[in-house]
Every structure is written in structure tokens, then in C-alpha cells.
Amino acid sequence: MKLAIIGATGLVGSVLLKILKQRKFPLTKLILVASKSSIGKKINFNRKAYEIVSLDTALKLKPNIVLFSAGSGVSIEWAPKFKLIGSTVIDNSSAWRMDSSKKLIVPEINAHLLSKKDKIIANPNCSTIQLVIALSELHNKFNIKRLVISTYQSVTGTGVKAINQLESETIGEESEKAYPHKIYKNAIPHCDVFEKNGYTKEEIKLVNETKKILSDDSISITATAVRIPVMGGHSEAVNVEFSNPFEVSDILKILKNTSGVTIQDDVNQNLYPMPLTSEGKDDVFVGRIRRDYSKENALNLWVVSDNLRKGAALNAVQIAEYLIAKNLL
């Protein structure tokens, strides 16, 4: 089992390596790729030093699985090249997510759609993954009619430059800016770039990817994405309107039995999901579960998850594990 990571020195790349080790992924050869400036440098994995190589070198080594986390441009150019040599690509960028010929996969929900023919598989946006994990089983039972999503997103979703900006501003120093404004002690309603319709790409991803993963274009969805000065994970306030009536006790029962979900919902003990406590964890945490009395068949949820783990690296590794288990390579 030859596995390549494209973008091995990035935030997601480092978490991918950590998760591969933690889950004892069945590797026989590990191929690490990063930018040209990193070629020749070494990364330690399982007490062994691995030298970073170029994309051309990785291609010649013919990996079985390639985990891409290096941006859309790299994926668009190189994923088809790996596909041509028989590799299976799992791509963490937005390059292929809305391509009708590519599967957009969250293993707990729709891994069963995968076949040996799928050589480029899209990993959803981090905010989308935690949202659909929390909602998929509820949709199956009560049929979601409308979603209103407000996100509170960690700077880790932007990358190292954003982390450096927050850390510098926290101690009163200036640094290269990842955002058009200070992020320390601030909330910026601007994740990704603005489109002509007034929504950001992040907000549009939440709408389109949710519909694709849940296989339902009839759901009305609107979103506002906000960047906040936290590190540990993304938070979402989610208002759900169902077509069918429900009891909150049924919601709790379904969520309790949903794979990948942990309920944290005891306001008497000040227990609810937070980025600080979700960091480094695999699950999606759901709390503040309560009926919305302003509308019939409506519900409020608070959903938090580590965006670098389940929102990116873990989801990709779980897809790879599924492919191996089902002999789909």
C-alpha cells in the first residue's frame, strides 16, 4: 500500500500524518510531497525520516492512494495525472466537489456510493462535513425543508498565515495579514471571497455541498460564515425546519445513535460544545438542542468540530480506509 500526501508540510498535511499514525493505517510506502522550496527536507513519521519529493517523483512512484491537500490549482493539474497511472485520489480542495462526475463523500453518510471506477474522490468543505454529520439521520427521519446556518470559524481554516496573524496581534505585534482586518478581539463576516450575489464562496459551498451529500436539491439553505479569533475548531448555529413533526426526545435519540456524533447538552452543568474542547477530537459535537417555537417543526442546534481533523484529514483517511476494506482500489 503506497500512499502519497500532496501538501505534507501544511496544516492539514501534518494532521494527516498524525491520524495515519494514530489509526495504524496499513502503509508499505509513504510518499511526501510539498512545495518546491521544501523538496529535500525531511519529516519524521513512525521513527523514520522521509524526504520530501516533487510531484513528478511521486507520480513515477505510482502510489495506490494520493491524498491531496495543496489547493485547487494543484489538484486540477495533477489529480488527473495520478488517475491516469491508476492511483486513487482523495482531494481536500474545492476543485472537484461540485463536478457531477465526482463523488463528494462523508463516509458515515454516503461511502456506499463509491466504486472501483471512482479515481478522483472529493472531500467536502470542513464546515459542510460537520453540518451533514449532525443532520443526515435527522433528514432521513423528518425530512429537512429549510436550513439557516451561521458559522463561527477558526483561523486554522485559513492556514498558517492566519494563525501567525492572530498570535502576533494577541501580543500586540504586527505581522503579514491573512485577513483584511485585525482578527484579534474581532469577528469578520468574510470567509473566502465574495461573489456577485453578495455571498462568499464559503457560504455557497455550505449550500451546494450539503444538497449534494444529502442527495436532495429541494432543501432551502442560506448561510452566513464568520471568522473568529479561535484555534480549536469551527462552530455552527443551525436552524432546521422539518417537513414532518418531531419530538425533541426523538432528536436526542437519533443523534445519540448517529455515527461520529457526540451529544454535549446539559445546560445545568454548563455543558455544550466548544472549539476549546473539540480540538484534537474526531467527533462532531452537538448541543443546545431545542425546539424553535417561532416556527412549526423547527429546531435549533449548536454544532462544533475540529476543522483540521474531521473537517479535513480524518474524513480523507476514513475514505481511504473504506476503499481498502471494500477492495475498491
| pLDDT of 258 | 98
pLDDT digits (tens, 9 = 90+) for 229-243: 999 999 999 999 999
Query: Does one domain contain both 143 and 110?
Result: no
CATH number of 96's domain: 3.40.50.720
CATH number of 238's domain: 3.30.360.10
Query: Does one domain contain both 185 and 256?
Result: yes
pLDDT digits (tens, 9 = 90+) for 206-265: 999 999 999 999 999 999 999 999 999 999 999 999 999 999 999 999 999 999 999 999
Query: Does one domain contain both 112 and 140?
Result: no
| pLDDT of 43 | 96
Residue 207 Cα to chain centre, angstroms: 15
Query: Does one domain contain both 137 and 227?
Result: yes
- 8 A C-beta contact, residue 206 and residue 149: yes
Query: Does one domain contain both 151 and 206?
Result: yes
Q: How many C-beta neighbours within 10 Å does residue 257 have?
A: 9
Of 112, 126, 181, 191, which one is the catalytic site residue? 126
Active site residue 191: no
Angle (CA) 314-315-320 rounded to 5° is 95
Overall pTM > 0.75: yes
End-to-end CA distance of the chain: 10
Identify the CA nearest to 213 among candidates 139, 159, 269, 320.
139
* Structural domain boundaries enclosing 84: 2-124+312-325
Which segments in the chain show pLDDT lower than 70? none
Task: Name residue 41's amino acid.
Answer: K
Q: What is the DSSP string of 274-328?
A: -HHHHTT--SEEEEEEEE-TTSTTEEEEEEEE-TTIIIIIHHHHHHHHHHHHTT-
Query: Does one domain contain both 74 and 201?
Result: no
Burial of residue 134, with CB atoms counted within 10 A of its CB: 0-12 exposed, 13-18 middle, 19 or more buried: buried
Q: Total domain count for the chain?
A: 2
* Type and span of the H or E element at 166: helix 160-170
Query: Does one domain contain both 101 and 172?
Result: no
Active site residue 234: yes
Query: Does one domain contain both 199 and 74?
Result: no
Q: Estimate the crossing angle of helix 248-256 against helix 126-142, to 10 degrees.
A: 120
Residue 257 Cα to chain centre, angstroms: 21
Query: Does one domain contain both 295 and 179?
Result: yes
Query: Does one domain contain both 182 and 245?
Result: yes
Query: Does one domain contain both 264 and 215?
Result: yes
What totals of helices (H) and strands (E) does the chain contain, helices first? 10, 13
| pLDDT of 287 | 98
Cα–Cα dist 282/22, whole Å: 11
Query: Does one domain contain both 141 and 279?
Result: yes
Q: Residue 4, SS3?
A: strand
